[in-house]
Amino acid sequence: MANNLTAGAVHQQLVSLANPEIAEHSQRFFKTGAGDYGEGDQFLGIRVPVLRQQVTHYQYLPNKEVIALLKSPFHEERLFALLVWVKQFQKAPEENQAHLYGLYLRHTQYINNWDLVDSSAYQIVGVFLEGKDRQPIYPLAQSQSLWERRIAMIATFQWIRNHDFEDALAIAKLLLHDQEDLIHKAVGWMLREIGKRDLEIEKGFLKVHYQEMPRTMLRYAIEKFPNPERQRYLKGLI
C-alpha cells in the first residue's frame, strides 16, 4: 500500500473502506441538498479516525497526487488530501512549508466544507503566518467565498492558542455582519476560545459589539458563561 503513492492507489484503498450507511448519514449531516452549503457533495462513507489512520500510510504522497485527490468529487478524498498536507507541513523545513502554504491558498476552491477548513486552516495558514506579517489573512476575510472567509477566521486559532488575540479580534470585527451561519459559528467559536484564555478581552469585545452580532455568533461566544450572565447578553441587558 505505502509503496504505491498515487491518487489512484489512495482512491482504491478508500473505496474499499466505504460504507453506504455512513455515506447516507454524511450527506444529510453536511447539508448536500439543493441550495445548501454542501450542495452536490458526494461521500464514500468513511469516518475521520479511519481516514487519519490511512494518512499515515500515504504521508509521503507527492503534491501532484495530493492535488488530484483534493479535486475529487468525494468529500473524504478531499479531506484525506488536506490531512496529508497537514502532516507533511508539520515535518517540513520552512522553505517547504512556504511551498505547501502557497499550494493550499491556490486551491481553496476545493476546501469547500467546514470540516475541511477546520482540519487544515490553522494547522497550515495559522502556523505559517505565526511570527510573520499577517496581512495575507485579511483579503481572505473579505473574500466572496464563504470558505475563504472561514479559513481566515479559523486560521487565527493558532495564534489564539498562543495568547495572541489581535488579528483574531480584527477578523471577527470584519465578519460581524457576514450573512452566512457558518461564519457566525466560526467567529463565535474563536471568541469563546479567546475567552478561555483571557475572559476580560472577550468581554471587552462583546461589550462593544454584542448587540449587533448575529444571534448564533453571540450564542457560540457566550456558551460557557454562567446561565444568568448568558441570559443578560441574550436580552441585551449588559
Residue 3: the pLDDT is: 57
From CA 177, how far away is CA 193, in angstroms rounded? 20
Terminus-to-terminus CA distance in the chain, angstroms?
59
Percent of the chain surpassing pLDDT 70: 99
Q: Are 146 and 179 in contact (CB under 8 A)?
A: no
pTM summary value: 0.95
In tens, the pLDDT along 142-184 reads: 999 999 999 999 999 999 999 999 999 999 999 999 999 999 9
**What domains lie within the chain, and their CATH numbers?**
1-119 (1.25.10.90), 133-238 (1.25.10.90)
Query: Tell me, what's the pLDDT at 100?
Result: 98
CA separation, residue 158 to residues 89, 112, 118, 165 (Å): 14, 20, 11, 10
| Mean pLDDT taken over the chain | 95
- The pLDDT tens digits of the residues spanning 52-86 come to 999 999 999 999 999 999 999 999 999 999 999 99
- 172's enclosing H/E stretch is helix 166-174
pLDDT of residue 32: 86
Scanning 17-74, the segments in alpha helix (DSSP H) are 20-29, 48-55, 63-70
